Structure 1
Amino acid sequence: MRLHADRESCISGGRCMATLPEVFDQDDEGIVVLLTPTPAPEHQAKARKAAYLCPARAIDITESPTPD
């Protein structure tokens, strides 16, 4: 999994940070800061939830292909 946070789209909702503070933070203006673009396996479910909860849809997830 790889994450991308679009700071231009962010409306400072803070739901990502509240859901997964190990991966998301906010700057002084409340705009999303991505702490790591590749969350640990134990954080991936919450990363998906954070993306789903984002009111601006500013978080994109790219899933890694599963090896055969």
Structure 2
Amino acid sequence: MKVELEADKCVASGQCVLAAIDVFDQDDDGIAILLDERPAAEHLDDVKEAIAVCPAAAIRLVDR
């Protein structure tokens, strides 16, 4: 699985960072940054939580 982030859709809420701190961060403007596009299986539930709580629907998992 691969994580994709559409940073141009990000509204800087920071919910992804709170849900999956090992996978996401924020830049100085609060826009999400993807730290690991292929996170370890142990982080998959956190990534799914980040996807669920993202108010901009800017994160998705793809099967690649």
Where does structure 2 lack aligned partners over 5 or more consecutive residues?
A: none
Q: How far 1:60 moved relative to its partner?
A: 1.2
Matches of 2:63 and 2:57, distance apart in 1: 17
1:29 pairs with 2:22: no
1:57 aligned partner, one-letter code: A
Instruction: Report which of the two structures shows the higher radius of gyration computed on alpha carbons.
Output: 1
Instruction: Please provide the CA RMSD for this pair.
Output: 0.9
Identity %: 38
1:51 aligned partner, one-letter code: I
- Could you state the TM-score of these two structures normalised by the residue count of structure 1? 0.89
Where does structure 1 lack aligned partners over 5 or more consecutive residues?
A: none
